[in-house]
Structure 1
Amino acid sequence: MKPIMFNNKKIDASLFLQMENLMYALLKRDGAALEYAFQAYYDERQNKVANSHFWDDRSQEDKVLGLKSEIYLKALGNGHFSDMKVYREYTKELLLESPLQRLLTQVFVLIEDLRLEEIIKKKRPGTLSIFARRREVYRNHFRGQYETNRIRHFEADMLFSLIYIMLTNDKYESFDNEYMDIIEPILFDVFEARSTEDVMYIVEKIRYRLESELKGDMINHYFGIAPLVNENEKVSCPSPVHELDNDDKQDVDEEKKNAEDETFSTWHRENENNDEENFLQFELEHGTKTSLDVQTAREEENGDQAMGMVYGNSRKSKQNNFDNNDEKDRRASQAAAGPGEKYGKYNIGAEITYKAARTSTPSEKATYSTIKSFVHKEVKELQKVIEKTMENKKNAKTDKYYGRLRKKWLRVFTEKQPRMFYKKGQESKELDVAFHLLVDCSGSMFNKMDETKKSVVLFHEALKSLGIPHAINGFWEDASSAKEEYKPNVLHEVITYETSLNHHAGAEIMQLTEEEDNRDGFIIRLASEALAKRPEKHKFLLLFTDGEPSALDYQQDGILDTHEAVKYARKKGMEVIGIFIEEGEENEETYNLMKNIYDHHFLVAKDATDLRLKIKPLLKKLLLKSIQ
């Protein structure tokens, strides 16, 4: 489980899914994918559209309009009205041959976007306001960028800012800039461009005039292009060699030169190096010379990575410790990602193993008995409230002046104003409800699990006292064994529907312990399937967690996948509630994370102790709701 303060940029799951649906509708290509990136782009080879983070810090209205404008430009524009072969080959040529590679590729993308924008506005007049606001926001942005770059003497960045302002301004505006004077006549040709090839010729004219005049390239990137090389391709062209600041050489131990690489697994995948790009850039410019041959391309290796880090309180994994259970004590693993991406596109390769609760030890029974005594008063109070409410319901008058007609007509002759009708369902006064509780057993729960068990015991004892069937499962993903094609998950069934009402059931809860990663969306889908098979009318699915989902190839996708899983469960008629265990006072990041995943159906506890205090009123509210 990754703490929510790890990254301040949180994906709005509902908004992302809205953009994804728009992308599907416009691109009209099976298997297309949407993701967030530093800049927006369309990759026809990967069948992928990327939204940029440029809009993250804008107002909600501007953010929605801005992301929509990018979807229109990339999915509809590049996807249907750009010659992507020309687009890719020309940008590749600029990057490999031009000393002004950044400036010229940015100008090329900008002009192509402006050409596509006009096409889209003609075909879809409803986008006029979207693109008008997009231009207004970007013009303000580039006016600010111009002043910043002027102070820093970034000539190429200044020029690009002026190009954008000129091309998107409704009125002609002159600029006191020597490079702008050189290319200004060419820029008027932009409005006559009818194809990607026309745009290429315009940029070539600009290139011819600027390469001999402008001495330095741009520093910043504003608009994106798709990666020029696929992950499975080999780069055949040599990279330009730059002199390093250092003139030293790396000493190589020949005996260790061919030593086998060793892979170090981390206990928990919570911490990633966000500064990797800066680190690598420093190495490229200032690092030590090595004996590697850079004139030929190196083939990609499966284990390639820039840097591995072991961070935090590492400890030995317990993911394979089933306490010597017989094979019959746990069900065999079941493949979770079958044909049709049954459990979501972010869970391909995920598999589940159901781990049954073993026989409780005397120590676990003693601990459970102590906790049971600790929560006994709260359980009795809750039981008394629910039973009293049910009794009042049973004694309440159910005869109505309207509704469904009763079969007994005697009162027609014995009463002046007989109540001959009743409402459908009014006769039932029993609790017709089932609960399923999921407990996050990720590594970050190591300092909360003991207190969390007290809340779980309260949950179990309260429902058992009222005769309500329920299930309690811990869950985690085996991070040390996870691979792209195989992601093993464990569902620890400490309490099942079949055993939940047994008099001696409960000590199995003490077997819950912190493990490794967590794939929340996958587990919610599995639990909702089990809960959907229950015959009860009212069904509640609760999840105890202490942070956002974190597992292999999950990252920010975990928020989206969990949000989709919650929506899927609610469509099946069950209520899903997220219960967040905070460390300290509730903050805005916590609220936004839980709202993105669970909408408004969530509870935040400031710590595990506070969780127990809030569980009783939550259960009371849900149970009263089920007997209304």
Structure 2
Amino acid sequence: MKFLVFANTKIDSFVHMQLIDLSRSLSKVDKMDVSFSYHSYLERNSGATHVSQFWNPYPRDIQLEGWKSDVYLRSYGTQFYTDDNSIWNTLSVLKTHPHREFLKQVLLFAEDYRLEQICINDRPGMKHAFQLRKETFQVHYNREYRKHIQQKRELDALFCHIILLANKRFVAVPLQTQQLYLELRPLLTKLTSAQSTHDIAAIIIQMAELTKQHSDLPDMKTAYRSFSDKPASTDSTDESQKFDDLTRSNETKTKKTITKDEQKEEENDQEKESHSSWHDETSDPQDSFLQMDLDQGTNTDLLGEGAREAESGDAVFGSVQTSAHSTENNDFNTQNEHESETDNNQTGSNSSSHFPYGEVNKNVTEHFVPAKPATPEEVTQYELFNQEIAPFVTQLKQNFLKTMEHKRTSPREDLHFGRLGKKLTRLATDKNPRLFRKKQESQHELDTTFTLLVDCSASMFNKMEETQKGIVLFHETLKALRIPHSVVGFWEDAADATVNNQPNYFHEVISYRNSLHQPGAAIMQLEPQEDNRDGYSIRRMGEELMKRPEQQKILLVFSDGEPAAFDYETHGVLDTHEAVTRTRKLGIETIGMFIANGEITEEEEKLMQNIYGPQNVVVPSAAELVDYLMPVLRKLLFKSI
């Protein structure tokens, strides 16, 4: 669980999900993800649309439209109308040019300008977002222009002048670059009418020849735009393989030289491989053979107005970023490649048949902790809590039994068949009268079961005692009404969590088989532990509920904040939301109860709304949990009659 937030750089999870859905709809890529980076660009290989943190400081309405315009530009424009090779080849040619950064920025701006016109023509609904983007950029680049003039950065100021001129905003050309601008002006005019990325690249090469004559001008210092790095060349791979062949340091055989016997041995070895994320529910363990976790990540979380000075280390970071790429030498088993996903709506977690609990949970190992025999102290504490909540239990039980009895004895009227009723005037007044009634069938027991999932993260240290009172109310009420149920605490061991192993624990203090005659003192064994991985826990308890024979299944979750676990912060809210959606699709009613720290904030309400939708209850403090739990239980019980 998170305690401190030093910079408010978090993105609303609901907005994030909207952008992901929008990106996937436009790009036609099912697994397209959205990341928040310093600049906006598209990574085809990793399937990621990067939107710019340039929009972070702006008001909410401008911020959302700005991010949408980034998604429009990348997931639709760049995805279908940009020739990446033309960009990469041009940047490669400009690598030794004295004004390479200036030419690069003009190249990327010209391509964005062309893509913007295509987006508006093909999809007029994008016009509003691009109009707001244009107005915002006019103000921003006008401010940047004045700043560069003061700092005597002529090419930076000239670039801002070009952008403002393209957006019908006129400013003076910097004095030191007036001659260069006059020479470039005919080519700049051609850029606005270019029909393809190749045309723009050809014009930039011509501009490069002209700018060489002005080598006295220092290159541009500020990077306003970025482009994805080129995947590692296969030529270098071939050369390294030839060198390895010469030195005999690599004895790897290609697919053509593998014999049938060796293939069988490799298949046997593959079957013997073990992986920490496997569990009993995995049907085909070989599908996850040596898969690497390349889920998602942002390049930076810095705030700013989208501009930073170029650094000499940028190229190094760019080469590292593309060092991991796909290769044709993979020989993994793909027989189940087209099998249906466990959860088709696993947007944030990118789950597939390889990872039934979501890719962000693929390295989770599961541990069940049974309840211990209750100590005398736990029994005493439980009796004190039981006496305190006894009036609430009695009230709930009496109201519920009265309602059941009333429904059982009151007849159903206005039927087409049954016993003849007393309202016979309808025979003359109604064209199709309903004159009969019928007694309700007796119902002795409810066909309902509950599971209570309790967050045992470290942030519950000052709330657990009051939370235990709510759990006692839950247990005693359902026990009195003869409704089977279970109570399970969950947490992740942060101390032992690693990249390949994240141990998650489930402490079942009340089990289905003993819930109707179990005293309940084991509830006192729930204690604050470490982190919480809510999405995985909800999925697992949903599976356990599906094994129950009862018709109506209800999952109630007690939590006190945003999910936080090892490598889970980026997708924690999204993964939990998807787990709730998946569980509800299975027919399990899922309700979240958030326990605040004395005062409910707008951020906490929005968090619960994003995860659970309208089926959530926000409790101001743990001391009020019993008061808030009473109407929730009453509504759920009466709904099950």
TM-score by length of 1: 0.74
Change (3 A) 1:105 1:381: farther
The equivalent position to 2:596 in structure 1, one of 564, 576, 582, is: 582
Matched, 1:455 2:470: yes
- Alignment: residue pair count: 536
Provide the C-alpha distance between the structure 1 equivalents of 2:439 and 2:144, rounded to a whole number of angstroms: 67
The equivalent position to 2:174 in structure 1, one of 177, 185, 188, is: 177
Q: In 1, are the aligned partners of 2:593 and 2:617 still within 8 Å (CA)?
A: yes
1:5-49 Cα deviation digits (max 9, x unpaired): 455344333433333233233333464433232322111232322
What amino acid maps onto 1:398 in structure 2?
Answer: P
Change (3 A) 1:462 1:585: same
Q: In 2, are the aligned partners of 1:393 and 1:429 still within 8 Å (CA)?
A: no
Change (3 A) 1:575 1:84: same
Change (3 A) 1:427 1:143: farther
Q: Is 610-619 or 10-19 further displaced after alignment? A: 10-19
The equivalent of 2:412 in structure 1 is: 399
Helix, strand or coil for the counterpart of 1:138?
Answer: helix
Change (3 A) 1:386 1:222: farther
Provide the C-alpha distance between the structure 2 equivalents of 1:480 and 1:301, rounded to a whole number of angstroms: 31
Provide the C-alpha distance between the structure 2 equivalents of 1:583 and 1:99, rounded to a whole number of angstroms: 58
Provide the C-alpha distance between the structure 2 equivalents of 1:81 and 1:415, rounded to a whole number of angstroms: 70
Q: In 1, are the aligned partners of 2:98 and 2:215 still within 8 Å (CA)?
A: no
Provide the C-alpha distance between the structure 1 equivalents of 2:62 and 2:320, rounded to a whole number of angstroms: 44
1:187-210 Cα deviation digits (max 9, x unpaired): 212113233233334444555538
Matched, 1:218 2:221: yes
Change (3 A) 1:85 1:30: farther
The equivalent of 1:143 in structure 2 is: 142
Helix, strand or coil for the counterpart of 1:25?
Answer: helix
What amino acid maps onto 1:561 in structure 2?
Answer: D
Q: In 2, are the aligned partners of 1:443 and 1:516 still within 8 Å (CA)?
A: yes
1:319-341 Cα deviation digits (max 9, x unpaired): xxxxxxxxxxxxxxxxxx88343
Provide the C-alpha distance between the structure 2 equivalents of 1:513 and 1:93, rounded to a whole number of angstroms: 63
Provide the C-alpha distance between the structure 1 equivalents of 2:72 and 2:425, rounded to a whole number of angstroms: 73
The equivalent of 1:190 in structure 2 is: 191
Change (3 A) 1:491 1:218: same
Task: Give matches, 1:284-295, under 5 Å.
Answer: none
Change (3 A) 1:498 1:118: same
The equivalent of 1:28 in structure 2 is: 28
Change (3 A) 1:147 1:570: farther
Q: In 1, are the aligned partners of 2:2 and 2:562 still within 8 Å (CA)?
A: yes
The equivalent of 2:490 in structure 1 is: 475
Q: In 2, are the aligned partners of 1:4 and 1:590 still within 8 Å (CA)?
A: no
1:367-406 Cα deviation digits (max 9, x unpaired): 22222222222222222332333333334x433224xx33
The equivalent of 2:331 in structure 1 is: none
Q: In 2, are the aligned partners of 1:149 and 1:158 still within 8 Å (CA)?
A: yes
What amino acid maps onto 1:215 in structure 2?
Answer: P
Change (3 A) 1:91 1:564: farther
The equivalent of 2:166 in structure 1 is: 167
C-alpha RMSD of matched pairs (Å): 4.2
Provide the C-alpha distance between the structure 1 equivalents of 2:320 and 2:86, rounded to a whole number of angstroms: 27
What amino acid maps onto 1:344 in structure 2?
Answer: G
Unaligned runs of 5+ in 1: 236-273, 286-293, 303-336
Q: Is 18-27 or 489-498 further displaced after alignment? A: 18-27
Shift of 1:516: 1.9
1:59-84 Cα deviation digits (max 9, x unpaired): 55544443333223222322222222
Q: Is 193-202 or 38-47 further displaced after alignment? A: 193-202
The equivalent of 2:339 in structure 1 is: none
The equivalent of 1:493 in structure 2 is: 508
What amino acid maps onto 1:53 in structure 2?
Answer: Q
The equivalent position to 1:525 in structure 2, one of 510, 516, 539, is: 539
Helix, strand or coil for the counterpart of 2:414?
Answer: coil
Matched, 1:551 2:565: yes
Shift of 1:571: 2.1
Q: In 2, are the aligned partners of 1:3 and 1:548 still within 8 Å (CA)?
A: no
Q: In 2, are the aligned partners of 1:399 and 1:420 still within 8 Å (CA)?
A: no
Q: Is 21-30 or 370-379 further displaced after alignment? A: 21-30
Task: Give matches, 1:54-203, under 5 Å.
Answer: 54-56=54-56, 58=58, 61-91=61-91, 97=96, 102-147=101-146, 157-169=156-168, 173-178=170-175, 179=177, 181-182=181-182, 183-203=184-204
Matched, 1:439 2:461: no
TM-score by length of 2: 0.72
Provide the C-alpha distance between the structure 1 equivalents of 2:152 and 2:110, rounded to a whole number of angstroms: 25
Task: Give matches, 1:125-524, under 5 Å.
Answer: 125-147=124-146, 157-169=156-168, 173-178=170-175, 179=177, 181-182=181-182, 183-206=184-207, 208-209=210-211, 212=215, 214-215=217-218, 217-219=220-222, 221-227=223-229, 339-395=353-409, 397-402=410-415, 405-408=416-419, 420-421=435-436, 431-504=446-519, 506-524=520-538
1:210-246 Cα deviation digits (max 9, x unpaired): 8735436334x4433335678xxx99xxxxxxxxxxx
Change (3 A) 1:50 1:413: closer
The equivalent position to 1:571 in structure 2, one of 585, 591, 601, is: 585
Provide the C-alpha distance between the structure 2 equivalents of 1:39 and 1:583, rounded to a whole number of angstroms: 37
Provide the C-alpha distance between the structure 2 equivalents of 1:92 and 1:416, rounded to a whole number of angstroms: 90
Q: In 2, are the aligned partners of 1:100 and 1:218 still within 8 Å (CA)?
A: no
Shift of 1:56: 4.2
The equivalent of 1:46 in structure 2 is: 46
Q: In 2, are the aligned partners of 1:5 and 1:589 still within 8 Å (CA)?
A: no
The equivalent of 1:542 in structure 2 is: 556
Shift of 1:520: 1.0
Provide the C-alpha distance between the structure 1 equivalents of 2:635 and 2:411, rounded to a whole number of angstroms: 23
Change (3 A) 1:384 1:450: same
Shift of 1:461: 1.7
Shift of 1:412: 10
What amino acid maps onto 1:218 in structure 2?
Answer: K
Q: Is 140-149 or 514-523 further displaced after alignment? A: 140-149
1:523-557 Cα deviation digits (max 9, x unpaired): 11111222234344443322222221112221121
